[in-house]
Chain A
């Protein structure tokens, strides 16, 4: 299964047509796939809170948005999640590379990984963790859930899900 294609197919099937991205090595394939689709307006952001602002505007303009980013961005976006996305009750699927988990080669990434789920729980953000490739089968349901409840929803995707970084 091509998980990049499956993820973006699910975005398209759920009418997500505005996606902002801040890159991560693990997300390179899915970002390429987003860029390749005609039905999606792909707008790279310089910072994740900026991206959430773009998504808020697109939502109010009638588009279904999504953001693709790294888990380090949780440290950047707490205020934006609380005072924009949650306060105004907006849906926002957040496809997040979960750096610093199993098969991570960069030690510093673990420092935010250990806070990621706790921060999301503190924010009452529904959170899903994809560890095996088959976990992607839930993605379609998660998107439907997000636009049903008008909340930000986190999908954490670790290195094992993306196939690791080769031999370590």
Chain B
């Protein structure tokens, strides 16, 4: 499965949760598949989906899912020790690990070669790290939500993209709509 197929499959699970979605194609795909006020789309700033999600989870009680990519986590690897040492049981980091920088033309990442992000997360001290194959993600994600334990999920999948438009919604509108959903 490629990332857009995974997002389509887990969209019903994501719908009722606060979602911080990674820059580029992941946000565009989620926006196209199931746009919700509870989705925060990143339009810039590669690497910070996990950090924004953790800050949000620490600030309020609702479940937060950060959808990140392997390339973005590699960009902001310091996020993993911060997550490990600031436990928020309403926080799930979902790394869709397709071993490539998808939004820029599928250049290979080191996570698709010798580097294991689940091993890195474990070494950083994250307590619940689950590596899962694409087709098995749905039940694992649902269980992580139900268990209310901070969880890092590394979902291994194929690289590949679909053609779709950019998000034209104004960033302040995205943010305002999202904050109302957070507070509601």
Contact = CB atoms under 8 A, between A and B. Distances in A.
B58 interface: yes
B6 interface: no
B82 A54 contact: yes
Interface in A63-89: 63, 65, 79-80, 82-84, 87-89
Nearest to B40: A60
Given A43-B86, A79-B45, A83-B45, A60 B179 contact: yes
A90 interface: yes
Instruction: Classify the interface of chain B: helix, strand, loop or mixed.
Output: helix
A61 interface: yes
Nearest to B53: A57
Q: Which of B20, B50, B56, B81 has the most CB of A within 10 A?
A: B56
B136 to A, nearest CB: 28
A47 B78 CA distance: 7
A166 interface: no
A60 B57 contact: no
Contacts of A46: 78-79, 81-82
B115 interface: no
A87 B78 contact: no
